[in-house]
């Protein structure tokens, strides 16, 4: 059973939607956010990255930053840039990137379902990031940015969403990166009732992107629950805003690795060590075409690496992931990288940047690059269903959700 409740969103005036919509807080640093929002007082980066309105060098975890985020959200509401829906609604949020289209439903999901394990995670979170987002949620009393969830596709849900998408949208914008963002309001009571009923039969939701935002909403809800005498279980803090996509529409891109050195080995010795677990051959192509195979850029040349039978346990949902095969057969035993989270010799390149970026970084000082085959949604869900955790930097979702098009406050 999965909850998807309607809510009264705050959303931008249609003529300002393109100026309000911003990249999520966690895909840019402070300097990048400041540049993107320069000259645009409507940008939602003023809420998600409020340090951009304070002097350079301000500690992003200072009291002044959190207070600025609250003030900026209130300013957008008080000036009418964001206005509140009159009645609770669901929403459809569609994204288009080239030929790829994905359309999800926006509503409120359940804190309790996360606690009981039917909203499933596949990554660990970092406490410092959890603490930061929890304080933003607490002080703003809002889900300023949605969590990105997935569910196993249900044809009847798809057909109803497609029916609504055939009507005029409330927003239809194209952002500077060429990605289209379209929003429909689902206000008809029969549609809302039907979707609520259909999601009652969805056994689980999966966190695709936004583990820290989810954790912040859960911590906020638990703290408010603990401070509430005789809670009913239906209070606003018992839910959080999410975009819920059918799994077969989502696109996971490769998440590639670059390493600064060969751990004291010559290139020849490194290739010889690889040959014990992989079939290694020069390659005219850069990207791998199948799981358990890799592209490698070394000394100005591309190679293909294909894992040999027996080099990994094919029936293990985590150790059979390509990121695990690389870690257990190359990064740890040969290159000496035991913890990808903390080792400064390794860096990660999202697939949106392409193979040219791997070559550029190697030519710019790194020694070797590895191109990985993308993790699939089925693999992600299998890991989550098993109650296990993926290695760090296993998935790169594109396109990214835009923030500010739909905002949920806890006072609605």
- pTM recorded for the entire structure: 0.90
What is the domain range of residue 325? 255-373
Residues 63, 211, single domain; the answer is: yes
Selection from 48, 41, 3, 43 nearest residue 175 by Cα? 43
Residues 339, 225, single domain; the answer is: no
Residues 241, 263, single domain; the answer is: no
Residue 37, Cβ density class (10 Å: 0-12 exposed, 13-18 middle, ≥19 buried)? buried
- The DSSP secondary structure of 165-195, one letter per residue, reads HTSPPSEEEE-TTS-EEEEEEE--HHHHHHH
Question: Using 50, 70 and 90 to split pLDDT, how confident is the model at 108?
Answer: very high
Give the separation between CA 393 and CA 315, rounded to whole angstroms: 21
Contact 412, 11 (CB under 8 A): no
Report pLDDT digits (tens) over 195-238.
999 999 999 999 998 899 999 999 999 999 999 999 999 999 99
Residues 244, 269, single domain; the answer is: no
Residues 230, 264, single domain; the answer is: no
Residue 391 lies in a domain: no
Question: Using 50, 70 and 90 to split pLDDT, how confident is the model at 396?
Answer: confident
Residue 336 has, within 13 A of its CA and on its CB side, a CA count of: 9
Residues 36, 105, single domain; the answer is: yes
Question: CA–CA distance from 236 to each of 229, 242, 306, 410 (Å)?
Answer: 15, 14, 51, 6
Identify the pLDDT of residue 351: 86
**242 membership: H or E segment, kind and range:** strand 239-246
Residue 388 lies in a domain: no
Give the separation between CA 92 and CA 89, rounded to whole angstroms: 10
Kind of pairing between the strands at 239-246 and 147-151: parallel
User: What is the dihedral angle through the alpha carbons of 2, 394, 352, 184, rounded to the nearest 10 degrees?
Assistant: 0
Residues 112, 199, single domain; the answer is: yes
């Amino acid at each position: 059973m999965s909850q998807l409740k309607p809510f009264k969103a705050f959303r931008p005036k249609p003529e300002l939607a393109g100026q309000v919509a911003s990249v999520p807080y966690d895909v840019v640093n402070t300097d990048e956010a400041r540049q993107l929002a320069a000259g645009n007082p409507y940008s939602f980066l003023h809420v998600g990255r409020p340090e951009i309105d304070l002097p350079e060098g301000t500690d992003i975890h200072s009291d002044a930053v959190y207070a600025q985020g609250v003030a900026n959200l209130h300013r957008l509401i008080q000036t009418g840039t964001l206005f509140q829906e009159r009645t609770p609604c669901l929403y459809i949020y569609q994204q288009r990137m080239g030929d790829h289209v994905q359309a999800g439903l926006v509503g409120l999901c359940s804190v309790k379902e996360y606690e009981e394990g039917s909203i499933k995670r596949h990554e660990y979170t970092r406490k410092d990031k959890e603490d930061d987002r929890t304080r933003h949620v607490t002080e703003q009393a809002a889900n300023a940015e949605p969590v990105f969830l997935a569910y196993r596709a249900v044809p009847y849900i798809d057909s109803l969403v497609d029916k609504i998408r055939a009507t005029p949208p409330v927003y239809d914008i194209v952002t500077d990166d060429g990605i289209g963002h379209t929003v429909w309001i689902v206000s008809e009571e029969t549609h809302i009732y039907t979707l609520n009923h259909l999601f009652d039969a969805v056994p689980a939701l999966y966190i695709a992107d936004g583990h820290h935002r989810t954790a912040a909403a859960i911590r906020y809800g638990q703290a408010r629950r603990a401070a509430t005498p005789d809670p009913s279980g239906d209070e606003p803090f018992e839910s959080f805003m999410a975009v819920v996509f059918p799994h077969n529409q989502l696109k996971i891109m490769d998440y590639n690795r670059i390493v600064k050195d060969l751990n004291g080995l010559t290139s020849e010795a490194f290739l010889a060590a690889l040959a014990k677990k992989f079939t290694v051959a020069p390659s005219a192509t850069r990207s791998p075409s199948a799981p358990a195979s890799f592209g490698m850029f070394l000394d100005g040349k591309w190679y293909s690496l294909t894992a040999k039978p027996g080099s990994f346990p094919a029936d293990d949902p985590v150790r059979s992931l390509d990121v695990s095969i690389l870690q257990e057969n190359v990064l740890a035993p040969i290159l000496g990288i035991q913890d990808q989270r903390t080792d400064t010799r390794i860096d990660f390149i999202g697939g949106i940047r392409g193979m040219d970026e791997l070559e550029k970084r190697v030519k710019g000082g790194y020694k070797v690059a590895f191109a990985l085959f993308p993790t699939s949604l089925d693999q992600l869900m299998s890991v989550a269903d098993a109650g296990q955790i993926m290695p760090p930097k296993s998935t790169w979702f594109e396109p990214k959700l835009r923030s500010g098009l739909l905002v949920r406050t806890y006072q609605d």
